[in-house]
Structure 1
Amino acid sequence: METFWDIIDNLRDYKHVANFQRFCGVETYDLDETVNGHDLDNAGTVNSNHCECNSNKEINGSVQHSNGTNSADHVKHRNGLKNGFKNGITNPKGHEQRLAYKINNKLVHHMFEFGASLGSEMFYLIFFPFMIWNVDSRLTRHMLLIWYPLMYFGQFLKDWIKWPRPGAPAVRLEGKRFEMEYGMPSTHTIVGTCIPFTLLVLTSKYYEYPFILGLIVALLWTLLVACSRVYLGMHTVLDCIAGISLTALALPWMLNVVEYVEYLQVTNPYAPFVSFLIPLLACIYYPKPKVWSITRGDTSNIVSIGACCVLSAWLNYQLGWMTETPKHSTPQPLPGITFDWMYYSLIRTVVGVSALGASRIVTKKIFLKLVCTCAGVETDDITKQRELGLEVPVRWLTIGGLAVSTAFTAPICFSYLGINREGYYYEVGL
């Protein structure tokens, strides 16, 4: 009988990732054997006879050092056969197995790319504004107050545990950006579990609808995100189980108190000393890893979104614009999806998200210049910026500013244009 640690080691095995990738149509090729067998031509391409594929079939690859950073030693490509990069993780002898891959099932690949996008910055930029502008801002704040502390803790664990991303025989099919951080636990599965199940529990309190249908949707959502992380080679099975388990343990008690916490953070005059200052300090004093990774900056993005959306609601309330309206004591029928709702939701979403996207591009450059000037650092000196941790103030000013625009500025503009949702300024209260 396997011991607990044997089970842990088994679930952490990269072979399971590779097996799932092969099951989903990913073919891999060992380029070390190709090089040793002199089947690599002068341009660095794989001989098509060795790979048993013709020159029109595309092979991709990924690179990883032991510290999680990208290598510049790319194998050049020619005749449609692309680079087979190093994909090992930690090897004391300095040798890393060289793998190339080919995707045979594009439909499955795109499905899992979509699953991975459910935990991306673009998803946050669209999903949370849509919920605030078109559905229920109070419900969205509840969700944010559960989401961002869980994500902070998950990101913190990554840099504390320091387990690398999967390596050979698995390959990484996602952008190199995500290779620059550790893998345990999977924060994608944290958000992929937290958001659907928080929505399920909270909406079932407020509205009448078939609970079993919502449960099925939540389970499929979580399963899609978890499988996408394994398929893309970003996490082991154990990483995903850990992310789901962490969320499952925390959700019950967080859901039990979130309504009261949100109410105090919106209505108490001194709430920002807790709701804003503590999250900001948590990012400033986030443990600095020996080797720079994207984790600290991404954590600042996440925390600033949650804290600044709540701060915006507090500001609306303190200005007297937001009126306290107690929730119904019993669940209400789901509001009908009318043509007017779809029409105005579409306008608010397209106009609002477009404005947020443009604002992000512009303000990022402005705030980067401002922060670097204050710190006495050149804007092109990336190494020094990382050493000083300047990504934290830049992210808070940029992404936090977008959150304030979403929950404070945009509704003012929508009201001026006559397209604001009627109930927006009445969504506070126990």
Structure 2
Amino acid sequence: MSLRRAAALLLVAAATVLTPATASAATSPAGLYGSADPTYDGVWRQGYALLALHTAGVTPSAAAVDWLTGQQCADGGFPSFRADTAKPCVPKAEDTNATGIALQALAVLGGHSATVNRGTAWLTAVQNPDGGWPYNPGNPSDPDSTAVVVGALAAADHDPLATRSRTGRTPFDALHGFQFGCAAKPADRGSYGYPMNGKLSVNAKATADAVRAAEGAGFVVTPPPAASAPAAPACGDGRNAADAYARLAPKAGGAAGAVWLAGQLTAGGGHLTALTPGADKPTPDYGTTADAVVALAAGGDSGTAKAAYTWLAGHSTAWSHGNPAALSQLILAAHATGADPHNAAGADLVRQLTNLGPAPAAGPAKASVTTRTDQAAHKSKKSSSGPGTWLIVGVIFVASIGFGFLLSARRRQS
């Protein structure tokens, strides 16, 4: 998730906590997953939900798919949300992240080639000279947005390596520019940074996204046939020290990032952490940990990926409760590691997600099973937890995947 989207979601969630009456007043559009205000993440969470349900063998409702296709603008791009699809889009409101995840979902579902083709044409038209993409066209490239677009191009059968800017640069050229090599501190080598205020800071989210993109993968990753250990180049001394990373091909660069990412997960006991605003100690970063699971699985490190998913399955209930994007991340992490999303430490993630949107057109029988964990969560929601509790959890979640990891990544060794 880019800083801009994370910040916007944080503000919305915080405002909702301060004025809980607005939550009940807001009406979720028909066909959309989740009941929270879709202004800043409607397309994002819908694309995530459709991808996750598809991997779980669930055929989404036609209304859910139609809602997503209806968000596309005439020029092919998608904004975060169009409240009135009868009105023309405001070009500056379109963004690469919403467009990228929408195209990934529609390409995977099939039958939407015209929509996907218009979207990929828009993405290639707004590619930056350095080969990457920003959140909104016209801004500097960032690794997260570039990775989302790489996944969209791959899903649409467009070779990202062949997608060159007007200066001849590829998305992998841009990603390479965000990686820390031999000139960096040994603890930072291989990681990728997020650019803020002209400075590149080591960032776990950027690293997970770049590692996945280096494999040419989107959010849907199948378990690797055999486990493999990623490798990073050895840095020598003197003039050639920086060359070890400068010469890396895209997948080799991703492998070096995977080494750093796996080290952070192992040091954290199977998860990443983030320092939220105003906090003294880091807290678990569930979203980036889920991203890391998918990224490592894409690169073949199934051992570390499975260990991190096992931690997520046992600790992420409060974070994912009622949150379609979070549930989708967990389902996709389960898919990437070969785990059963119907039984994540006793919880049926698929059932929880389907309950947040229109009834699916078809799906496996397991989707209707209520587990003891689901029953306990439902009981807790009705008796001991008012809506404000989960809204506060939502604020903590957004903060942990937004400001915390972007602003303090270098300090916290996550």
Aligning the two structures, in what range does the TM-score lie when normalised by the shorter sequence? Answer: under 0.3
TM-score w.r.t. length of structure 1: 0.25
More helix by share: 1
